[in-house]
Structure 1
Amino acid sequence: MKKIVITNGKIITPFRIIPEGTVVITGSKITTVCEGKLDVGNANIIDAKGHYVSPGFIDIHVHGGGGFDFMDGDELGFLKIAELHAKYGTTAMVPTTLTSEKEHLIKTLDIYEQAHKNNKNGAEFLGLHLEGPYFAMNQRGAQDPRYIRDPDPQEYMEILQRSNLIARWSAAPERNGAMAFGRHLQEKGVLAAIAHTDAVYEEVVEAVENGYSLSTHLYSGMSGVSRKNAFRYAGVIESSLLMDELDVEIIADGIHLPAPLLKLIYKVKGPYKIALITDAMRAAGNPPGESILGNKQNGLKVIVEDDVAKLPDRTAFAGSVSTADRLVRNMIEMADVPLRDAILMMSTTPARIMGIQDRKGSLLTGKDADIVIFDRNIQIQETIIGGKRVYKKS
């Protein structure tokens, strides 16, 4: 097999940054990570030019980009979204749906299955994330209220018959039937996540006991401290920060969460419990202006300005337009996080959360050759997925 040698780079490993190192790729795998230069012989040479060489970014919550949404019902959209985000360093992603009727979800599963087979030039698909429809109405955000409902065993069991296509499912644990739902997800090997919820601490504890292990976009669409009959109750925000059993994901676009909250989450949870996510909608990578969240035919009209999507009346955010490079840059510049920790949260931790740490998330011998080269400003110079060079900055 033809080898690729990346030389003259600052290599980011799980343990350190090698000031001047070499990475050797054989086929689709990393076969060497070392200090200095290495004479491999007949190989394609990539001169990193002193830039950083990093594990590829793993986005476990993304809805779209480049003018496409995974809910459009179009295989081409899946492929274009994957290609768009690869340009910004994402080498693997979990395509995410929105609350909808069952028939639409099943159709999306069919399209995903075909797109997965034909995805040659974009971020690898790791399975679908079903975001809803089992949510709290008060915390629905931009989710369509017409389809919000309690978990229905007949419905979710039918959908989960295709469980090899579903990687994670987000739900509100206080909904009737949510505990049985969490247990069933765990039995099927599907990650159960807490999202769009009004739960209090006691309900979160029960959820963790019944298989839930991740808080979806912490602070967004979830309860904080509340008062009932003069007594205070911790919400999902406080529960997620307090409980070591819960991983958290955060939209680090610098808008959904300002710098003080980014710093707080990092201080409390640390880089090994935090996954950075774009939660990007179709407008990611496009200029500001009008856009649509969800299906292009009947989705929610939004306006993109100030680097975020908003409802037309500007009363609330309606989605992120971020890309993975921006998340890393923001954690460094806004939250004062070291580069290596920012990369952990964009690669190693999401890989562990999704149960693929044996093959992705770090630059180690034997792992998939998913690699990003970027400069000191986290501007992507090159993206390699499975040993294939899919993007190079012109």
Structure 2
Amino acid sequence: MGFLKVTNGTLITPFRYIRGGTIVIQDGIIQGVHERDIDVPGATVLDAQGKFVAPGFVDIHVHGGGGYDFMDGTEEAFLKIAELHAQYGTTSLVPTTLTAEKEDLLHTLDVYERAKLKNNRGAAFLGIHLEGPYFALSQRGAQDPRYIRNPDPAEYEEILAYSSSIVRWSAAPELTGAIKFGQRLREKGILAAIAHTDAVYADVLEAYENGYTLATHLYSAMSGVTRRNAFRYAGAIESALLLDMDVELITDGIHLPPPLLKLVYKIKGADRTALITDAMRAAGMPEGESILGSRTNGLPVLVEDGVAKLLDRSSFAGSVATTNQLIRNMVQLADVSLLDAVRMASTTPARIMGVGARKGSLVAGKDADLVIFDENINIETTIVNGQIIYDKKQIVNTLQAI
């Protein structure tokens, strides 16, 4: 593959900026991170023109984009979603399902296995995230109530045996059988997360002790302080903030207002907070009517005001955000430094998913996943495994030529 030299950029490392820095890449791996330009004979040179060069963004919770949803059950959907999000700086993502029948989940796993072998033009796949179907009906949000149920050992054991590509599974920890389920996921090395839950502190603590280490889209479809017979109980939100759990936030600027973004950052910090898009098929598309989930049996939704909603507007139905927007909002709305905002979109989610040794930071020996962007977090170039898969200037020049 030869050498690729990315030079004349402001590098964003885990702890500092390197202005006028250079990154040398060979065979998809970062060979060196330098504070100045260096001579690399025969290298292809990419001039960052003073813009920021950051580790590629890692989106650990995404459902779709570009008019496609992973639940469409086609290779085309998987590949097009990966390509769409790469245009906005995502270099790795975790395809995420919705509540569905077992057969639909198995089919999605089959398609993933085929699609990942062909995915060379988009963000890399890190494995499948099964979101549901083991949720609290009262906290279903936009999840289809027809498919919500309690954990069934016969069902989840069959699914676990069917595929080794499951890297994460979200469930409500207070359900009957959920603790045993969490223990089983931990045994399999699969990240267990609490989600769509009405749990109180005792439930979350027990779950945390039995394998659940992440709170899925904190605040969304999740219990807060409740009262039972006049007594107050901490909900899943307060429990996740109090315990040594990781949390993920949809920072599209709509799901959570600035005060809550600031609160979570103050309590959990950049090292325990991952930014996610939770994007559905309408990400990167014009507003209007859309579908959450598969085209065949998904839920009709309306995209307006920069977010997807149920038709009766009673609930959000997933975001239409892209990862560069997440970072921009944390900087502009939550007063977070660009250094920390990038960490929450790269280093932290990579660590949460167990791939921090090879992704998530500009360090020699790691995968050459990079993104170049301007002061407004507009993406100029996306590099995955040392290959330039998106270049804004090239696209603009092509359009001008046409």
Normalising by structure 1, we get a TM-score of 0.99
Pairing 1:223–2:223 present: yes
For 1:156 and 1:357, how far apart are their aligned partners in 2? 28
One-letter code aligned to 1:323: T
Pairing 1:8–2:8 present: yes
Q: Which residue of 2 aligns with 1:43?
A: 43
Shift of 1:254: 0.4
Superposition map of 1:45-64 within 5 A: 45-64=45-64
Q: Which residue of 2 aligns with 1:262?
A: 261
For 1:20 and 1:339, how far apart are their aligned partners in 2? 17
RMSD of equivalent CA atoms: 0.6
Superposition map of 1:238-317 within 5 A: 238-244=238-244, 246-317=245-316
Partner SS, residue 176 of structure 1: coil
Q: Which residue of 2 aligns with 1:72?
A: 72
Q: Which residue of 2 aligns with 1:168?
A: 168
Deviations 1:107-130 (Å, cap 9, x if unpaired)? 000000000111010000000000
For 2:109 and 2:312, how far apart are their aligned partners in 1? 33
For 1:254 and 1:260, how far apart are their aligned partners in 2? 11
Superposition map of 1:100-179 within 5 A: 100-179=100-179
Shift of 1:164: 2.1
> Does the 8 Å contact 1:99/1:133 carry over to 2?
yes
Pairing 1:334–2:333 present: yes
Deviations 1:288-321 (Å, cap 9, x if unpaired)? 0000000111111011111000111222211100
For 1:234 and 1:301, how far apart are their aligned partners in 2? 34
Shift of 1:162: 3.7
For 1:19 and 1:180, how far apart are their aligned partners in 2? 50
% identical equivalent positions: 66
One-letter code aligned to 1:212: Y
Partner SS, residue 141 of structure 1: coil
> Does the 8 Å contact 2:63/2:280 carry over to 1?
yes
> Does the 8 Å contact 2:106/2:162 carry over to 1?
no
Deviations 1:86-105 (Å, cap 9, x if unpaired)? 00000000000000000000
For 2:19 and 2:383, how far apart are their aligned partners in 1? 21
> Does the 8 Å contact 1:218/1:237 carry over to 2?
yes
One-letter code aligned to 1:192: A
For 1:163 and 1:157, how far apart are their aligned partners in 2? 10
Deviations 1:197-231 (Å, cap 9, x if unpaired)? 00000000000111000000000000000000000
Deviations 1:237-264 (Å, cap 9, x if unpaired)? 00011112x1000000000001110000
For 2:135 and 2:195, how far apart are their aligned partners in 1? 7
Partner SS, residue 346 of structure 2: helix
One-letter code aligned to 1:87: Q
* Structure 1 residue runs without a partner (length 5+): none
Q: Which residue of 2 aligns with 1:345?
A: 344
For 2:347 and 2:163, how far apart are their aligned partners in 1? 24
Partner SS, residue 151 of structure 1: coil
Shift of 1:163: 4.6
For 1:162 and 1:2, how far apart are their aligned partners in 2? 39
For 2:315 and 2:16, how far apart are their aligned partners in 1? 41
Shift of 1:190: 0.4
One-letter code aligned to 1:89: G
For 1:377 and 1:133, how far apart are their aligned partners in 2? 38
Q: Which residue of 2 aligns with 1:29?
A: 29
Q: Which residue of 1 aligns with 2:353?
A: 354
> Does the 8 Å contact 1:170/1:193 carry over to 2?
yes
Q: Which residue of 1 aligns with 2:236?
A: 236
Pairing 1:388–2:383 present: no
One-letter code aligned to 1:29: I
One-letter code aligned to 1:266: Y
Shift of 1:161: 1.1
Partner SS, residue 164 of structure 1: coil
For 1:202 and 1:314, how far apart are their aligned partners in 2? 33
Distance 1:348 1:162, change over 3 A: farther
> Does the 8 Å contact 2:109/2:163 carry over to 1?
no
Shift of 1:336: 0.3
Shift of 1:27: 1.1
Deviations 1:151-189 (Å, cap 9, x if unpaired)? 011110111114521010000001100001000000001
Partner SS, residue 161 of structure 1: helix
Q: Which residue of 1 aligns with 2:399?
A: none
Greater than 6 Å deviation, 4+ residue runs: none
One-letter code aligned to 1:166: I
Partner SS, residue 238 of structure 2: helix
How many aligned residue pairs are there?
393
> Does the 8 Å contact 1:163/1:188 carry over to 2?
no
Superposition map of 1:86-105 within 5 A: 86-105=86-105
For 1:101 and 1:300, how far apart are their aligned partners in 2? 15
Greater shift, 268-277 or 314-323, is seen at: 314-323
For 1:237 and 1:384, how far apart are their aligned partners in 2? 36
For 1:202 and 1:263, how far apart are their aligned partners in 2? 26
> Does the 8 Å contact 1:163/1:190 carry over to 2?
no
